[in-house]
Amino acid sequence: MGSSDCPSLMGANRKTALERSPLVRGLGLWSATAIVISDTIGTGIFLVSSDMARAVGTGTLVFCAWIIGALIVLCGAFCYAELGAAFPEAGGAYVYLSRGLGPLWGFLFGWMSSFLERPVGMATLAAGFLRFLAFLFPVLATPLFRFHLGGFDFTFTAAQPLAALVVLIVTAINYLSVRVSGAIQVALTSLKIGAIAMLVAAGVLFGNRFPFDSAAHLTATGSGSISGFLTALVPAMWAYNGFNDLGDVGEEIAHPHKNIPRAIILGLFTVTVLYLLANVVYFRTLPFAKLMQSQHVASDVMQSLTGSRGAAWLTTAMAISALGALHVVVLTGARIPYAMARDSVFFQFAKRVQPSFHTPSGALIFLGCLAALLTLTGTYEELYSLFVFGVWIFFALTAIAQFRLRARVPDLRRPYRAWGYPWTTLIFFAAAVALTGNLWMVRPVRSSLGLAVILAGVLFFYRWRRLARASSAASERT
């Protein structure tokens, strides 16, 4: 079970399963790049700059957080590009960790992704979509009822059941073939880029010229502390998340050894440029005190620049952007429980493939139902904090897996080798450890809940492994 398994390619059974895979390599370079961009540009860039401003207290530090966040994820992108090109299979980091650290670690990632990362990511994007709609239709944000549970105040609005419905609809759309999904992503990605470009153009043509720093910044609660800066990185990391997901559909990408690294790096570079330009417009258009209190930063900026009609058009585009990101999170996320079920370490219904569309129907139903339930439990901010905590633990472990694979399997075919290795991987690892540790201190209850979900997977791993061995032994006897 341990790390001694990492040199193998998961055995002859897995190789046979890959050769007979019912999945189709229908995603080209542009579709793959569109998946990276669309998965990354969801809701974060349009909403979280105000959260970051409240955490650090100055526009300069917010901008620094975006830049440092970009450098961190770029280091991570090099790591994931190398591993994705070496192992172009369904499941992404589930495969990388199984090869680099052993089957238990790969399983725990897949377990975390199936029960925490992807359902929470889907719920967060759906909540962000409804938050955009609430800008257009404020009645959606009206509380229906409130109650207290211990130290937690729960507010239920009309937006939450509607967000659950959105999750189910997008999951149903993902039953379509992967080629159709790729085409959808190219179209939606073009819209996302157009929305940010429209915002930047409006800022250049009509924007005010507020300085980045003023006395109003001193009202922020986290000003000047390292903890505050790390707290500001959490929403930035949510906004940048997505570069790591392309490997999940590695089994459906044409010429994956070339296209996976190209798509990850090209997509992330495009996103970074767009994010930085958008934030320049934010901080040069709105007074800092107003930006800190904004619940709809991009919409408020557009309203200041062009009036209510322009804000409405941009908000509509951003809502569609959130739907595009939700679509790709469902698309990539379903391949993880599918890959695990194929390896007999997950619920076996998850390996069902829709016979006409060749999509993992069992995994789609599982993720869609779980995410729909999660949309009813928390706000946008609470959901993305739980998401970041779970994901960045395994970012750190993936960095370790790359180190181990380089040391233990030096002859492994690596069509792409990470630029700046080992320093870029080490930076990525250190940032992941710092972010998860700080988030644990800032949000201990939700972080502890996330860790409990991850550790619960250990029992299931050993149970499913025993069942798989018993089944294999029985088939050999017959």
Q: pLDDT tier at 5 (50, 70, 90 boundaries)?
A: very low
Written as one letter, the residue type at 265 is: I
Q: pLDDT tier at 379 (50, 70, 90 boundaries)?
A: low
Q: In which element (H, E) is residue 386 found?
A: helix 380-408
Task: For residue 432, report the phi and psi dihedrals to the nearest 5 degrees.
Answer: -65, -45
- Residue percentage of the chain with pLDDT more than 90: 30
Q: What pLDDT score does 221 carry?
A: 45
Q: What pLDDT score does 22 carry?
A: 67
Is pLDDT larger for residue 282 or for residue 20?
282
So where are the chain's domains? 3-29+52-175+217-258+335-477
The pTM of the full predicted model, rounded to 2 decimals, is 0.80
Q: Is the pLDDT of residue 222 over 50?
A: no
Q: Is the pLDDT of residue 8 over 50?
A: no
Is pLDDT larger for residue 478 or for residue 103?
103
Count other C-beta atoms under 10 Å from residue 16's C-beta: 10
Q: What pLDDT score does 13 carry?
A: 44
Q: pLDDT tier at 149 (50, 70, 90 boundaries)?
A: low
Q: What pLDDT score does 182 carry?
A: 62
Distances (CA, A) of 423 to 220, 272, 394, 405, 433: 34, 21, 18, 16, 15
The total number of residues written for the chain in this structure: 478
Beta-carbon contacts of residue 13 (< 8 Å; ≥ 6 apart):
none
Summary mean pLDDT of the chain: 82
In tens, the pLDDT along 25-81 reads 777 888 888 888 888 887 788 888 988 888 888 888 898 999 999 999 999 999 999
Count other C-beta atoms under 10 Å from residue 224's C-beta: 12
- Report the distance separating Cα 412 and Cα 25, nearest Å: 23
DSSP 90-131: BTTHHHHHHHHT-HHHHHHHHHHIIIIIHHHHHHHHHHHHHH
CB contact at 8 A, 453 and 112: yes
Question: Hey, which residues does 27 pair with through a beta bridge?
Answer: 253
Q: Is the pLDDT of residue 281 over 60?
A: yes
Mean pLDDT of the 315-335 span: 85
- Report the distance separating Cα 358 and Cα 355, nearest Å: 5
- Report the distance separating Cα 347 and Cα 466, nearest Å: 14
CB contact at 8 A, 133 and 166: no
Return the top range by mean pLDDT from 385-394, 404-413, 438-447: 404-413
Q: Is the pLDDT of residue 165 over 70?
A: yes
Q: What pLDDT score does 247 carry?
A: 86
Is pLDDT larger for residue 240 or for residue 222?
240
- Residue percentage of the chain with pLDDT more than 70: 85
Question: Hey, which residues does 143 pair with through a beta bridge?
Answer: 157
Closest CA to 174 of 41, 338, 379, 345: 338
Q: What pLDDT score does 215 carry?
A: 39
Token duo for residue 267: 């997509």
In tens, the pLDDT along 200-221 reads 888 887 766 665 554 344 444 4
Rg for the chain, CA atoms, rounded: 22
CB contact at 8 A, 44 and 325: no
Specify burial of residue 4 (Cβ count, 10 A radius: 0-12, 13-18, 19+): exposed
Give the ranges where 113-177 is alpha helix by DSSP (H). Answer: 118-136, 159-173
Q: pLDDT tier at 369 (50, 70, 90 boundaries)?
A: very high
Is pLDDT larger for residue 377 or for residue 271?
271
Q: Is the pLDDT of residue 282 over 80?
A: yes
Cα first-last separation, the chain: 26
Specify burial of residue 150 (Cβ count, 10 A radius: 0-12, 13-18, 19+): exposed
